Amino acid sequence: MQVEPGEYMRIIPPPPVVLVSTLYGEVKNVAPFGMNMPISSDPPLYAIGVRETRDTYSNILETEEFVVAVPGPDLVEQIAATAEALPRDVSEFERAGLTPAESTVVKAFGVRECQANLECRLEWVRQAGDHHIVVGRVVAANIDDRIYREDLSRVVIDPVYHVGAKDGEYAKKGALVGQ
């Protein structure tokens, strides 16, 4: 069955949703991003797809850093809350009831409730259609002590997916999760 090329994102398995945390002065911004992927292991680079209208985009360009946090299915309500379009000087951390966690290298905060946090410094940005590819170098990475294993290949991260890029529908492995 043919589908519209513009609908392609609904027919490939999506990447797990990440929360991207940035700073606007003292304001701690956090928002969900479905467009995200690892693109290099040496050096360690991570890419996100960001519309230039997002506060996240402006904050990254100004501060040249961001943190990529990995939420689990227990955080679907918080993910939705951080997606609210709030003025740039209002923190989505407080609105969503998420706890900022101090980073080790960058000034932007991680998300305590998330399973892993990647501290990134901006490498480059390039426009790609209606989004910009924002590439960061991972300068520090941490994982929740409760799921840490010495053998990192045995770490089990519980991802949450944005189903078919549809508003408010999230899934974990094979099952929808409610809000």
Binding site for ligand FMN (CB under 6 A): 17, 29, 31-35, 49-51, 54-56, 79, 83, 85, 131, 162
41, two tokens = 């292991």
Which residue's CB is nearer to ligand FMN, number 133 or number 155?
A: 133
Is residue 119 within 8 Å of residue 108, measured between CB atoms? yes
Which residue's CB is nearer to ligand FMN, number 29 or number 103?
A: 29
Q: How far is the CB of 162 from ligand FMN (least distance, A)?
A: 4
Which residue's CB is nearer to ligand FMN, number 50 or number 70?
A: 50
Q: How far is the CB of 46 from ligand FMN (least distance, A)?
A: 13
Q: How far is the CB of 175 from ligand FMN (least distance, A)?
A: 17
Which residue's CB is nearer to ligand FMN, number 31 or number 141?
A: 31
How many other C-beta atoms lie within 10 A of the C-beta of residue 50? 23
How many other C-beta atoms lie within 10 A of the C-beta of residue 108? 23
Q: How far is the CB of 127 from ligand FMN (least distance, A)?
A: 13
Which residue's CB is nearer to ligand FMN, number 20 or number 138?
A: 20
Is residue 164 within 8 Å of residue 170, measured between CB atoms? no
Bridge partners of residue 23, in order along the sequence: 28
Q: How far is the CB of 150 from ligand FMN (least distance, A)?
A: 32
27, two tokens = 């304001």
Beta strands 175-177; 170-172: pairing state: antiparallel
Q: Using CA of residue 97, residue 176, residue 20, residue 24, what is the dihedral sign? A: negative
